[in-house]
Amino acid sequence: MTDSHNKPNFRAAFGADLDSLRRRDRLRALAPRAGCDFASNDYLGLAESEEYRDAAKAALARGVPLGAGGSRLLRGNHPEHEALEEEAARFFGSEAALFFGAGFAANEALLATLPQRGDLILYDELIHASAHEGMRLSRARSVAVKHNDAAAFEEAISAAGEVGRIWIAVESLYSMDGDMAPLRELAETARRHHAFLLIDEAHATGVFGPGGRGLAHEMEGRENIVTLHTCGKALGLSGAMVCLPRLLREFLINRCRQFIFATAPSPLLAASIRAALRIIEGAEHRRERLASRVARVGRNLRRATGVEPSGTQIQPVIVGSEERALTLAGKMQAQGFDIRAIRPPTVPLGTSRLRISLTLNPSDEQMDAMIALLAHEIERLA
């Protein structure tokens, strides 16, 4: 069926795309949260905490508004935004910080805005989708580098020849494998080649480093280091802080479309994140409990299934085929354990997996029961 201009009916076009996803069992849908939490990134169990409720109530009581009313460059720049940026720079140890309303937008913005025409972006092949979106918008050329291989970055720089500035983009803790980047080696490579090192600390902020400052804490403040601290994972809120030299902050304010044209984040959110920084700094007991939980699950998982522990709060169970991952996830969910199957293109072909996220939300008994059921279901599938 076509319209008067002989164009395909939009329902047919979009419906065909959705049908294609449905046939390949990749159709996404929203559903209410259910079951015991082994899927969220609320690693420290703070998202629904009394501490956060009290902080939000206190901010509202002193008159902090929910809405900003416009972009930061118009009338949306609230004192809470500036106070947060000053406190975040002090907390993480950077020269300056800039607040974004979402981690995805912040990561996209960095790679779309900072590298210039003639520059070269070298990125870890397993980097976040938001980084890929930023590179798609960038005027710089981008090249994938073997995962977590500092020598491969060195070789890629040598092979690049004459280029402008080099930008090395990595995550400190990878979201699907739970492994850590060789940050010290990469920082040394960046230093030798006068390159910038962009470090996405999304899954490390709050969990690692002194006071939860992340895995790159000892590098913060260097003039060639840019870090991204997502507020929607261990911090339990939303938004993101970009920590960087003051000159680059000014450049983003003037050139970054994702910042210039976006309505400013809620001042109440900014006030809540300020409180969250103080809370996570003093949350060593939570980090210790999480580390103990990671070690316990790792031991029990290896014993029951043979799966090697990642050593972090992100534990993949790689099963290979998409069908196998979906079957296992379905079995776990049916018994009340919210564990999700992760499939291509999110992960490479042949590496479909269950992504077990360890947080402080379940009890020890629930964790043990989850591993026992998982071992049983893996054995049945074998």
**Which of the residues 175, 224, 238, 352 is marked catalytic?**
175
Domain shared by 268 and 342, yes or no: no
Q: Beta strands 36-37 and 337-338: pairing type? A: parallel
Q: Is residue 292 annotated as part of the catalytic site, yes or no?
A: no
Q: Is residue 175 annotated as part of the catalytic site, yes or no?
A: yes
Asked whether residue 373 is domain-assigned, the answer is: yes
Conformation bin of residue 206: beta by default, left when phi > 0, alpha when psi is -120 to 50: left
Handedness of CA 318, 319, 325, 331 (dihedral sign): negative
Average pLDDT over the chain, rounded to an integer: 96
Residue 318 is part of a domain; what is its CATH number?
A: 3.90.1150.10
Q: Is residue 41 annotated as part of the catalytic site, yes or no?
A: yes
Q: Is residue 54 annotated as part of the catalytic site, yes or no?
A: no
Asked whether residue 310 is domain-assigned, the answer is: yes
**Which of the residues 78, 81, 128, 331 is marked catalytic?**
128
What's the domain count of the chain? 2
Is the pLDDT score of 4 beyond 70? Answer: no
pLDDT (average), residues 138-146: 97
pLDDT tens for residues 214-256?
999 999 999 999 999 999 999 999 999 999 999 999 999 999 9
Range of the domain at 213: 64-281
Q: Is residue 200 annotated as part of the catalytic site, yes or no?
A: yes
Asked whether residue 239 is domain-assigned, the answer is: yes
Q: Is residue 132 annotated as part of the catalytic site, yes or no?
A: no
Domain shared by 171 and 264, yes or no: yes
Domain shared by 108 and 252, yes or no: yes
Record the pTM: 0.94
Domain shared by 124 and 194, yes or no: yes
Q: Is residue 9 annotated as part of the catalytic site, yes or no?
A: no
**Which of the residues 233, 310, 331, 377 is marked catalytic?**
233
**Which of the residues 108, 124, 154, 200 is marked catalytic?**
200
pLDDT tens for residues 197-225?
999 999 999 999 999 999 999 999 999 99
